Amino acid sequence: MGFKEIDPSQLPAKEAYHFLTALVVPRPIAWVSTLSPTGIRNLAPHSYFNAISSDPLIVHFTSTGTKDSLVNARSMGEFVINIVSRDLVEPMNLTAANFPPDEDEFSWAGLDAAPSKTVKPPRVAAAKAALECRVEQILQLGNGSMVFGQVLSVVIDESTMRDGRVDPALLSPIGRLGGSTYSDTAQSLFDLKRPRWEELKLQRGSGSTEHEGGG
Ligand SMILES: Cc1cc2nc3c(=O)[nH]c(=O)nc-3n(C[C@H](O)[C@H](O)[C@H](O)COP(=O)(O)O)c2cc1C
């Protein structure tokens, strides 16, 4: 069996989406809470989510097409990203249903909301961590609207921390893979030390370029 080369522009949109989401994996899930201009609470998962900057803290979630989360974030300028741990998979999934804009997904999922400190949208009380964000910029690329937000407050359940650090096994975040498959990250943790140029150089005995990693 060899390699197949695929030109995504020749694929039906659904097929192209399959390859994108099956290969860009595992994706973290931003469970985005927002408020509509009339005060209706909205909650929906977005796996097009990542960190952008660590000084200041900036993250993004991306809406494919125009979802309520995007409309609310754009009009109100604020959102909260709740981290989805293993025990919250079922309510998270429920909030992905195509609810009309005037339905409150917190209520539908039977989730308690907790007030945020720095923004108006509440967070999911049961989520072990949340990032309270102010919209910085919205960038449209293709059918994606990337909502960039500066994190004004990091809320973390102290039970997930050990020695002042978040313990991944205690946070137990889930990841999304292709289709409806998820990974339970806490089940498969391993540590890997990143090599340093200074060490590699000594082993090989050559060259010199500066290198500083990000994510
Ligand atoms: C795990 C998961 C991840 C998702 N990721 C995204 C995403 O990154 N972008 C998106 O537009 N929709 C995503 N969806 C679909 C939305 O959650 C769904 O369309 C939802 O109804 C949007 O809600 P809203 O209109 O209240 O924003 C995802 C669904 C699931 C279950």
Question: Would you call 75 helix, strand, or coil by DSSP?
Answer: helix
Tell me the C-alpha distance between 181 and 199, whole Å: 39
Instruction: Give me the pLDDT at residue 146, please.
Output: 98
Interatomic CA distance for residues 158 and 138, integer angstroms:
32
How far apart CA 13 and CA 23 sit, in angstroms, is: 16
Which of 81, 86, 96, 88 shows the shortest CA–CA distance to 44? Answer: 96
- Residues 31 and 29: their CA atoms lie apart, in Å, by 6
pTM (predicted TM-score)? 0.94
The whole-number pLDDT of residue 209 equals 53
Ligand 1 pocket, CB under 6 A: 29, 42, 44-48, 62-64, 67-69, 93, 96, 98, 176
* Nearest-angstrom CA–CA distance, 90 and 109: 9
Task: Tell me the β-bridge partners of 144.
Answer: 64, 141
- Residue identified by tokens 């200041």 is 56
Q: For position 187, what pLDDT does the model report? A: 85
Please tell me the distance from the alpha carbon of residue 73 to that of residue 59, in angstroms, as a whole number: 13
So what's the pLDDT on residue 214?
Answer: 77
* 3 C-alpha to ligand 1 centroid (Å): 32
Distance between Cα 66 and ligand 1 center (Å)? 11
Local mean pLDDT, 10-residue blocks, the chain (215 residues): 96 97 98 98 98 98 97 98 98 98 97 98 98 98 98 98 96 96 91 95 71 64
Q: What does the alpha-carbon distance between residue 182 and residue 177 come to, in Å, rounded to a whole number?
A: 5
| Cα 33 to averaged position of ligand 1 atoms, centre (Å) | 12
Closest to 67 (Cα-Cα) out of 45, 38, 52:
45
What pLDDT score does 215 carry? Answer: 79
Q: How many CB atoms lie within 10 A of CB 73?
A: 27
What class has domain 8-204?
A: mainly beta
pLDDT of the residue at 212: 56
CA of 169 to the centre of ligand 1 (A): 26
pLDDT at site 211 = 47
Residue nearest to atom 26 of ligand 1 (CA): 68
| pLDDT at position 185 | 85
CA distance 61 to 69: 10
CA 21 to chain centre: 14
Residue whose pair of structure tokens reads 């929906």 in the numeric block = 44
